[in-house]
Amino acid sequence: MEIEKELAQLKKTREEAKSGGGLKRIEAQHAKGKLTARERIALLFDAGTFEEIDPFVTHRCTDFDMAERKFLGDSVVTGYGKVNNRHIFVSAQDFTVFGGSLSEVAAGKICKVMDLAARNGAPFVAVLDSGGARIQEGADSLAGYGEIFTRNTLYSGSIPQISVIVGPTAGGAVYSPAITDFVFMVKDLGQSYITGPEVVKAVTGEEVSLEELGGATVNATRSGNCHFVCDTEEQCFQQVRRLLGFLPQSYKERPPLADTNDDPNRMDEEFLNIVPVNPTQPYDMKRIITKVVDNSDFMEVHEKFARNFIVGFAHLDAQSVGILAQQPMHLAGALDIDASDKAARFVRVCDCFNIPLVTFVDVPGYMPGTDQEFRGIIRHGAKLLFAYAEATVPKVSIIIRKAYGGAYIAMSSKSLRGDINYAWPTAEIAVMGPEGAVNVVYRNEIKKSENAEEARQRLVREYRDKFANPYVAAARGYIDDIIAPRETRPKVIKALQMLRNKDICNTPKKHGNIPL
Ligand code: HXC
């Protein structure tokens, strides 16, 4: 009989824990158009698989009458469950308890599941909706952030870490998402900024709204802090589930094979109509990517940031791959600072998690100009070279059109340990474009000739015939083969199958020193 009473008490206490900050605050959360932590968790996991940890934890603060204000579980819901039948660990801040603010014990709960995720080799998803450090707790709360940042860092590259920002994230709190591999934000809900509009106005005199300063759109387009921006929370958690499907559980595993069922030998005559004959005319590189990959299913990462460079995940013959490519429709596909940062980070995330790299090249060079030079295109461009050279996963590239100068070398070239490098017959591999090259090499000859423009055009034609093709590079083995566009998919798939057991190690060291 006694046990019946105990069980009834347990049930009651558990129900209390589930109600977070209480019905009124849950209603207030809904009135703001936001879901509760538990509703978010239900969207993330396969139905009925979530197991909560630490539902009875309460804070230890006694200042500011806090001893009388305790909520079971405090301001975060933590635990584990399954996504597509694979284990995932989660922390979801509960805004109904002190605005999701981070207390000492909330940080402890988050660290506990992060440690479990790392020890058991499973991804960690953090759902952020918080007023920041628990003001009443002072340094205890700040130290809690430090503990989380340390784990974000130590587990980086070991297990996938994903942040989902569905409420405020301000001040130093933004640095946990910034260290993780992927950041999702929901429009009109997610906010991420170092200092809010009032402080900005006081310090710089600038007037800016919260949304303009740190909303999802600005973080996705301008700063690049956010990789995926979604319209609704439902869509957001669906996309998190989709992303997890491309990733392995940890660095020790390969990503799962997908049930794509697309013919690996499928050829496509349409390729011939995509790339214009005129080398200065743009075209949409995404049309090529979607024709090559399984079922045209391409999950673009960082879609709205540095649009001159495309990165994202797809499958090729069911195998998860990271796709990288120039987008000639934006800035002619030139490599600038943002594109270099975006691409280098993506190369490294794929390399951490055993995801082969497939690179489509059409690059006219690095972006010229004082703006880029002064802001450090040298330092940032170096990241991409470093990332490709260092990566040990299979690397396959296809030069579609232009591959000029240092940018050609940066794009997964043979000399950066590219495994298989293909070129279409339309490829132009040279130190620079014909116009620039002729102006440098034949400057005096052009000046001396009676009809300078005619002479220049003749020399451009000659240069193009001699160098602006893939045969010179193929003759030296920098290109492994020149392939017909229609056979791109089967050729890349065969190369990836051949590279499936690639096993190389880099020079032993403590760690590399990527130019940051
Ligand atoms: C304790 C907090 C809190 C906090 C909110 N609350 N933020 N309690 N510490 N940081 C409480 C409120 O008192 C309120 O309690 C409940 O959460 C909901 O807050 P509201 O203000 O009613 O909600 P809303 O109008 O939606 O506004 C949300 C907000 C605002 C914009 C986040 O609460 C706010 O500005 N909070 C302070 C943000 C801040 O400056 N944080 C410090 C950032 S610096 P009741 O009991 O009424 O429900 C930082 C440093 C990190 O975090 C350093 C890392 C190294």
Lowest mean pLDDT among 53-57, 385-389, 431-435: 431-435
* Pocket probe mutation, ligand 1, options 65, 129, 135, 148, max atoms within 8 Å of Cβ: 135
Q: Read off the tokens for 224.
A: 């690049």
More confident residue, 46 or 433: 46
> What is residue 467's predicted lDDT score, i.e. its pLDDT?
80
- CA-99 nearest atom, ligand 1: 17
User: Using CA atoms in the order 280, 283, 285, 287, what is the torsion angle rounded to 10 degrees?
Assistant: -160
Which of 64, 101, 145 has most ligand 1 atoms within 8 Å of CB, for mutation?
A: 101
* Domains observed in the chain: 2-32+49-244 (3.90.226.10), 269-432+468-498 (3.90.226.10), 434-467 (no CATH)
CA 458 to centroid of ligand 1, rounded, Å: 69
Number of helices (H) and strands (E), helices first, in the chain? Answer: 20, 17
Q: How confident is residue 104, by pLDDT bands cut at 50, 70 and 90?
A: very high
pLDDT band at 277 (very low <50, low <70, confident <90, very high): confident
**What mean pLDDT is predicted for residues 332-359?**
98
Q: What is the pLDDT of residue 396?
A: 98
Identify the pLDDT of residue 450. 85
d(CA 17, CA 15): 5
* Of 258, 407, 437, 495, catalytic: 407
> Exposed (0-12), middle (13-18) or buried (19+): which is 27, by Cβ within 10 Å?
exposed
DSSP state at residue 70: -
Residue nearest to atom 7 of ligand 1 (CA): 131
pLDDT of residue 218: 96
407 is catalytic: yes
pLDDT digits (tens, 9 = 90+) for 419-461: 999 999 999 998 888 888 888 888 888 888 888 888 888 988 8
Instruction: Please list the residues that pair with 478 across neighbouring strands.
Output: none
Angle at the Cα of 38 from the Cα atoms of 107 and 130, rounded to 5 degrees: 45
Give the residue whose CA is nearest to atom 43 of ligand 1. 132
94 pLDDT band (50/70/90 cuts)?
Answer: very high
Instruction: Output the CA 412–ligand 1 centroid distance in Å.
Output: 46
Per residue in 463-516, pLDDT (tens digit) is 888 888 999 999 999 999 999 999 999 999 999 999 999 999 999 999 999 999
List all residues whose CB is within 6 A of at least one atom of ligand 1: 25, 98-99, 101, 131-135, 142, 145, 168, 170-173
SS3 191: strand
Task: Tell me how far the alpha carbon of residue 484 lies from the centroid of ligand 1, in angstroms.
Answer: 60
The residue whose CA is least distant from atom 46 of ligand 1 is: 98
- Atom 17 of ligand 1, nearest CA residue: 99
pLDDT of the residue at 1 = 64
Q: Are 166 and 128 in contact (CB under 8 A)?
A: yes
Q: Is 406 a catalytic residue?
A: yes
Q: How far apart are the CA of 145 and the centre of ligand 1, in A?
A: 15
Rounded Cα distance between 449 and 444, Å, is 9
The catalytic residue among 172, 369, 376, 512 is 172
168 C-alpha to ligand 1 centroid (Å): 9
User: Would you say residue 363 has pLDDT above 90?
Assistant: yes
pLDDT at 185: 98
The dihedral built from the CA positions of residue 459, 460, 462 and 463, taken in this order, carries a sign that is: positive
Share of the chain above pLDDT 90, in %: 88
pLDDT at res. 139: 95
Helix (H) / strand (E) containing 79: strand 76-83
> Which stretch of 115-119, 412-416, 455-459 has the lowest confidence by average pLDDT?
455-459
Q: What is the pLDDT of residue 444?
A: 87
Say what percent of the chain tops pLDDT 70.
100
Closest residue by CA, ligand 1 atom 33: 131
373 has pLDDT over 90: yes
Kindly name the residue from 108, 121, 157, 171 that is annotated as catalytic.
171
Please give the mean pLDDT across all residues of the chain: 95
Report which ligand 1 atom has the smallest distance to the Cα of 149. Answer: 55
Number of C-beta neighbours around residue 373 at 10 A? 12
Nearest protein Cα to ligand 1, atom 15: 98
Is residue 273 over pLDDT 80?
yes
312 catalytic per annotation: no
Tell me, yes or no, if the pTM score tops 0.85. yes
Beta pairing partners, 324: 311, 359
Asked whether residue 320 carries a pLDDT value surpassing 70, the answer given is yes
Which residue's CA is minimally distant from atom 35 of ligand 1?
Answer: 131
CA of 92 to the centre of ligand 1 (A): 16
Q: How confident is the model at residue 250 (pLDDT cuts 50, 70, 90)?
A: very high
Burial class (CB in 10 A: 0-12, 13-18, 19+), 233: buried
> Do the beta carbons of residue 425 and residue 484 sit within 8 Å?
yes
Tell me how far the alpha carbon of residue 243 lies from the centroid of ligand 1, in angstroms: 31
Mean pLDDT calculated for residue range 176-197: 96
Q: Which residue is associated with the tokens 């990527």? A: 514
186 alpha carbon to ligand 1 midpoint, in Å?
A: 19
**298 contacts: CB under 8 Å, gap ≥ 6:** 286, 289, 290, 312, 313, 314, 323
Mean pLDDT of 61-84: 95
Q: Is the dihedral of CA 491, 494, 496, 501 positive or negative?
A: negative
**CA 480, 486, 490, 493 torsion: positive or negative?**
positive
pLDDT band at 280 (very low <50, low <70, confident <90, very high): confident
Out of 157, 224, 406, 436, pick the active-site residue.
Answer: 406
Atom of ligand 1 minimally distant from the CA of 100: 17
Three-class secondary structure of residue 403 per DSSP:
strand
